[in-house]
Amino acid sequence: MRKVAAAVIEDGAKVLVARRKPGGRFGGLWEFPGGKVEAGETPQAALVREIKEEMGLTIEVGESLGLFPFRSSENPFGLLAFRATVRGGEIGLADHDRFRWSRPSELDPSEFAPADVPLVEKLKERPGPPGRPRGRD
């Protein structure tokens, strides 16, 4: 099964989500940024690489949030999700047209790409990390 890694990038009680550019597959839907795990690459290394390429951010990957199998008619894959924090860089958008910081309770699963929906639901059930937001409301 092909593996895709997703980063739940946290800043206090909020998480970073990005909207896929219109026109492509699932265009206009939100997702947790990340991408394909290449041969010989760990999911954590894939996240560091993908987030740097897609968003210009340097991240530190933390705990696993689990594996979320996704079965589409074309390419079934496993979405491996990890908590992450920003360690440097400024957000730039290569594969997305918008981003936002949201509390998990504010995320609407109907606005997300199908593979990300189970992760959204898990985050809505799970308490966030201790700490306080750094001014992003």
Domain ranges of the chain: 2-124
Distance CA 5, CA 44 (A): 8
User: What is the average pLDDT across 103-109?
Assistant: 96
Distance CA 75, CA 96 (A): 22
130: which DSSP letter? Answer: S
pLDDT at 57: 98
Q: Which of 12, 3, 4, 6 is nearest to 85 (CA)?
A: 12
- Angle 48-88-14 from CA coordinates, rounded to 5°: 85
pLDDT in tens, 36-85: 999 999 999 999 999 999 999 999 999 999 999 887 767 778 889 999 99
Q: Which of 89, 62, 72 is nearest to 1 (CA)?
A: 72
pTM: 0.87
CATH topology assigned to domain 2-124: Nucleoside Triphosphate Pyrophosphohydrolase (3.90.79)
Computed over every residue of the chain, the mean pLDDT equals 89
Q: pLDDT exceeding 70 applies to what percent of the chain?
A: 90
CA distance readout (Å), 132 to 87, 124, 129, 136, 137: 17, 18, 9, 10, 11
pLDDT at 70: 83
**DSSP codes joined into one string, 14-48:** EEEEEEEPTTSTTTT-EE--EEEPPTT--HHHHHH
- Which residue carries 């026109």 as its tokens? 23
- Which residue carries 């009680």 as its tokens? 13
User: What is the average pLDDT across 74-101?
Assistant: 92
Looking at per-residue confidence, does 2 or 1 come out higher?
2
